[in-house]
Amino acid sequence: MPTPKHLAIIMDGNGRWAKARGRGRFYGHIRGARVARKIIEECARLKISYLTLFAFSTENWLRPPEEVQFLMTLLRHRLRRERKTLMENNIRVHCIGDLQRLPQDLQREIKSCIQETDKNTGLNLIFALSYGGRQEITQAVRDLCQRVKNGELEPSDIDEARLQTQLDSSFAPDPDLIIRTSGEMRLSNFYLWQAAYSEIFVTHKNWPEFTAEDLRESLQYFAQRERRFGRTGEQVAQVIT
């Protein structure tokens, strides 16, 4: 069964899940973090090479300051608490996004987590934090313009491959499958460049109720897709046989 080399998840619906149970949004985030841990372990077990978790978007800075602060603290605590699990599961941590905007203590925690896990050879776990696809592309274009201005590059040197190398996520292949929970059919500024040919699986379940079984269902869905990349079905069948 073909499995995605790179799986990316838009973990959405924490607030609505909590509200439906008469609880505050923060409770939803706490339960969501627990689910993230389970799914990370499951992906390591399934030998998936790359897993991106969209945890906080550029636009999420617009939320009430108390919620932003709570999320930052929760992230820091979880990163510290899960260090052992990450090592035991041979998981290597990466982060993409505008990390400078994060609180200093969280930045330090991320840095030390990346350093401690950087010899691990199993799952590459990418946290998208303060991440926006448009911002990532804009930054890449700005870097390329600077290199042209410095005389290191000609405008004609700039092609898709060159732009890709300037992206934060350039070390990872494009995501083969993007899962979004909570039923929303949108990307919300996630992996805009990278998602060009991603398969998309949307489930109505909110993130805190997403299970390993739901993950398996999404992988089965993926396995049934015919990925044509613009070609015809006949051409694709020919390549396989």
Q: Could you list the residues that contact ligand IPE (CB under 6 A)?
A: 10-16, 54-57, 60, 71, 182, 184, 186, 188
C-beta neighbour count of 211 within 10 angstroms: 13
* Binds 11: which of ligand IPE, Mg ion, none (CB < 5-8 Å by kind): ligand IPE
Q: How far apart, in Å, are the Cα atoms of 44 and each of 99, 155, 171? A: 25, 41, 19
Per DSSP, the three-state class of 109 is helix
Which of residues 39 and 123 has its CB atom nearest to Mg ion in the complex?
39
Q: Measured from the CB of residue 52, what is the shortest distance to ligand IPE in angstroms? A: 11
Contacted by 56, from Mg ion, ligand IPE, none: CB < 5 to 8 Å by type: ligand IPE
The binder of 188, among Mg ion, ligand IPE, none, by C-beta within 5 to 8 A per type, is: ligand IPE
Residues 47-50: contacts with CB under 8 Å, at least 24 apart: 47/3, 47/122, 47/123, 48/3, 48/4, 48/5, 48/6, 48/7, 48/123, 49/5, 49/6, 49/123, 49/124, 50/5, 50/6, 50/7, 50/123, 50/124, 50/126, 50/172, 50/173, 50/175
Residues that bind Mg ion (CB under 5 A): 12
- Identify the active-site residue in 60, 89, 124, 206: 60
Q: Which is nearer to ligand IPE, 8 or 86 (CB)?
A: 8
Tokens for 12, please give them.
Answer: 């959405």
Helix intervals (H) in 46-103: 65-81, 83-88
Q: Which of residues 23 and 83 has its CB atom nearest to Mg ion in the complex? A: 23
Q: Looking at beta carbons only, is 36 or 48 nearer to Mg ion?
A: 36
> Taking the complex as a whole, how short is the minimal distance between the CB of residue 170 and ligand IPE, in angstroms?
21
Minimal CB distance residue for ligand IPE: 15
Nearest approach, Cβ of residue 9 and ligand IPE (Å):
8
Told to judge if 60 belongs to the known catalytic residues of this protein, a careful annotator would answer: yes
CB of 178 to ligand IPE, least distance (A): 11
Q: Judged by CB, which is closer to ligand IPE: 38, or 225?
A: 38
> Catalytic one among 12, 14, 124, 176?
12
Q: Which residues does the annotation mark as catalytic?
A: 12, 60
